[in-house]
Amino acid sequence: MEEKHKEIDRGNAVIQIKGLKKSFGDLHVLRGVDLDIFKGENLVVLGRSGTGKSVLIKIIAGLLKPDAGSVNVLGDDVASLKPKELDQLRLKIGFSFQNSALYDSMTVRENLEFPLVRNVRDLSRADIDAAVEEVLENVGLSQTINQMPSELSGGQRKRIGIARTLILKPEIMLYDEPTAGLDPITSIDINNLINEVQERNHTSSIIITHDLTCAKMTGDRVAMLLDGRFERQGTFDEVFNTDDERVKAFYDYNFIQ
Ligand SMILES: Nc1ncnc2c1ncn2[C@@H]1O[C@H](COP(=O)(O)OP(=O)(O)OP(=O)(O)O)[C@@H](O)[C@H]1O
């Protein structure tokens, strides 16, 4: 499988993280994280369980406060935002979490309408219908519009979850283990969808994954969290071309076991 090759504008950072630290009691999870994410870039974050990937995402979204360091998202210093400003910023960030969290009692259409109706005022019925149809078409599932989530496959539910996030046209997408629990072929479909979203919407994305096929297919750049820092950042091959046993173990586990 080929590495991704996409030109990224390194002059335009949408997320800038400097010297970020976060501990819980004696547990020092993030120990000085420096990271930039550029406009239109897919950045894959790798790291073993418990290394602090979710903590990092929560800090970016303003859900957790850092102990030290700065986090700037789309020009805003997250720590200094008032609650209302934080809500505004969060509308520009799409979260695609592991379980997709669709509402089981609502149809696909109702699930997709929900964030729009809740967050955007003065939309006509025609606007809402058009937005729902557009995102469903973008994820290739127009035919499921009147179905219930229980009638969909895991891969389809994942796609609808991504569509529901896209309906607010986020500038940044955060994908938390997008291929977890999916078979390899369906995982590849989701990886392709992540790239299509990037191409079509010029979104910048952070993709947290343990799946190195996903990392290689979707990542313009890969950053590996090791002992609380991003010691290794670069293309997929740059990150894994090393004698560092911690990195090699991660690679071997994915491809040999
Ligand atoms: N609110 C909290 N209070 C105390 N400890 C926490 C809190 N949130 C996270 N932690 C701890 O911080 C560490 C990092 O957690 P985090 O969820 O970020 O890991 P992760 O890298 O996302 O792991 P996984 O790949 O398993 O999802 C863990 O040891 C976790 O127990």
Concatenated DSSP letters of 37-101: EETT-EEEEE--TTSSHHHHHHHHTTSS--SEEEEEETTEEGGG--HHHHHHHHTTEEEE-TT--
Question: How much is the ipTM here?
Answer: 0.97
Q: Is the CB of 52 under 6 A from ligand 1?
A: yes
Tens of each residue's pLDDT in the chain, 257 residues:
767 777 777 778 999 999 999 999 999 999 999 999 999 999 999 998 889 999 999 999 888 999 999 999 999 999 999 999 999 999 999 988 776 678 999 999 999 999 999 888 889 999 999 999 999 999 999 999 999 999 999 889 989 999 999 999 999 999 999 998 889 999 999 999 999 999 999 999 999 998 999 999 999 999 999 999 998 899 999 998 888 888 888 777 766 54
Tell the residue number behind the tokens 């080929």, with chain if given. Answer: 2
User: Could you tell me the distance, in angstroms and rounded to a whole number, from the CA of residue 128 to the centre of ligand 1?
Assistant: 37
Distance 50 CA to ligand 1 centre (A): 5
From ligand 1's centre to the CA of 10, what distance in Å? 30
Residue closest by Cα to atom 7 of ligand 1: 24
- Domains, the chain, with CATH or none: 13-92+170-256 (3.40.50.300), 102-169 (no CATH)
Collapsing DSSP to helix, strand or coil, 186 comes out as helix
Q: Give Cα 220 distance to the centre of its chain.
A: 13
* Ligand 1 binding pocket includes 29 (Cβ within 6 Å): yes
69: left (phi over 0), alpha (psi -120 to 50) or beta: left
CA of 29 to the centre of ligand 1 (A): 8
Average pLDDT over the chain, rounded to an integer? 91
